[in-house]
Amino acid sequence: MTLPSLHIGDLVARLPIVQGGMGVGISLSGLASAVANEGGVGVIATPMIGMYEPDRASNPEEADLRALKTEIRKARSLSNGIIGVNIMCALTNFAELVRTSVREGIDVIFAGAGLPLDLPAHLPEDQRENTHTKLVPIVSSGRAAKLICKKWLKRFDRLPDAFVVEGPKAGGHLGFKPEQIDDPNFALEKILPQTIEAVHEFEMQARRPIPVIAAGGVYSGADIVRFMDMGAAGVQMGTRFVATEECDADIEFKKAFVNAKKEDLRVIQSPVGLPGRAVGNVFLDKVKNGLLKPHKCPYKCLASCPQEDGPYCIAKALMNAKRGLLKHGFAFAGANAYLVEKIVTVRDLFCSLKEEAARSRAEAAARRYIESARQYMDLVTDSAARYRLEAKQYLEQMQAQANRGKECARQYLDQMHEEATRRRENAREYLEQMQEKVSSTLQEYLPEGRRTDPGEA
């Protein structure tokens, strides 16, 4: 089975796989370009992207924008494929990151961690009407997608080029309340069809498809097939790309995924006010037990962050984790991170995904054939049983008719026997009558002297 391509406007990815943007610094030009080279959509994560710039602390905005340009250009130099960026709405420099990305000719902007209701407003003025860059909001419900469509139509007379709908099994910050994360009503299998339906009514106005990409817990080729069979145009995957050689994180960060057990994965409350899923470790245990002291914020990267009132700086914790310093940070991870067994190349991962998808499709076809054969056998068995019953009933009818025929024959034979007996008796009586009549006639013709008494004769 060949996976179909993913179309976002005039962009065509050879494979329907978007590599999720993972910050801080987990997916940069290295991973994004490798994914793009294999036919997927490679995504650079922008949070704290300027972490290695020497003036990041003193000039954070310029450092981030400079690093963003560097990463986009580096990815372009390494790949001719589709490159996107993931920009969190909660970032304090959201607008500047959007404008810089568009000016650098980025193919796609994925915007989440909040509703990007004003995303088109941040496009460079000279490119607002006609930009190559595709705008793709990340949502967690059909209701959110519908709201974005209505707002964009009213304010900007345009619609999103696509949507990513992310379920509660995703890694990192989640767009759900804690009590919704394990609620089946909010599972990706539920919110994906709802989002597709919500977006469909706007496709007529757009006069083009608005593809919906499924995300959050998509791990295997079988998952890709399953969600695409539900109507998704493609999938977004993050966790599985962490355990690749090209991932931009330190090897210790990757090992945290390889070594993770199911019970190690936990949902935490982030200082920014959102729940998030991560691999448990000593650092998070200290957070849970209140052993970390309040900090001073050196970055001011998130608008929703309590900054100096928080128990720890999430930006610093994630930067430490990216560097492999997991005693001083932690790794965000999806719900299926415990399934990761080894670190592979991006190429090998894509090969595995395609093989898994083909195997899943073949197994599904085999199940359908087996089910069809079973139904056919049931039909044949039912037909045979019905034919046997009909034959039995026919035989019983024939036997009944034969019995009735035998009875009729017996009755007819009895009647014939009685008739023969009656006729024999009649013949005997007639013979006697004839004998008497002959005797009487003979007496009349004999001389008188020779006549005998009829009784003597």
> Which run of H or E residues covers position 125?
none
- Whole-angstrom Cα distance, residue 273 to residue 178? 11
- The predicted-structure confidence for 141-197, as pLDDT tens digits, reads as follows 999 999 999 999 999 999 999 999 999 999 988 989 899 999 999 999 999 999 999
Contact by Cβ (8 Å): 77, 32: no
- Whole-angstrom Cα distance, residue 288 to residue 138? 29
Categorize the per-residue pLDDT at 450 as very low, low, confident or very high, splitting at 50, 70 and 90: low
Distances (CA, A) of 317 to 37, 271, 293, 325, 422: 31, 11, 13, 9, 125
Average pLDDT of the chain, as a whole number: 90
Q: What one-letter code names the amino acid at 367?
A: R
pTM over 0.85: no
- Unique residue bearing structure tokens 């197994």: 363
Q: Over 80: is that where the pLDDT of 457 sits?
A: no
What radius of gyration do the chain's Cα atoms show?
45
| pLDDT the model gives residue 285 | 92
Kindly give the interhelix angle for 60-78 and 29-37, rounded to the nearest 10 degrees: 30
Categorize the per-residue pLDDT at 42 as very low, low, confident or very high, splitting at 50, 70 and 90: very high
Would you tell me how many other CB atoms lie within 10 Å of the CB of residue 153?
A: 14
Chain CA centroid to CA 50, Å: 37
> Which run of H or E residues covers position 173?
strand 172-173
**188-197, 245-254, 298-307: which has the minimum mean pLDDT?**
298-307
CA nearest neighbour of 9 among 41, 37, 55, 36: 41
**Average pLDDT in the 68-74 region?**
97
| pLDDT the model gives residue 307 | 56
CA nearest neighbour of 152 among 182, 124, 116: 116
Contact by Cβ (8 Å): 15, 350: yes
Three-state SS string over 317-352 comes to HHHHHHCCCHHHCCEECCCCHHHCCCCECHHHHHHH
| Dihedral sign from CA coordinates of 215, 217, 221, 224 | negative
**Average pLDDT in the 431-444 region?**
84
Tokens of residue 120, six digits:
């088109």
Q: Which residues contact 398 (CB under 8 A, 6 or more apart)?
A: none
Categorize the per-residue pLDDT at 67 as very low, low, confident or very high, splitting at 50, 70 and 90: very high
- Whole-angstrom Cα distance, residue 282 to residue 262? 17
Tokens of residue 439, six digits:
């005797």
32 vs 271: which has the higher pLDDT: 32
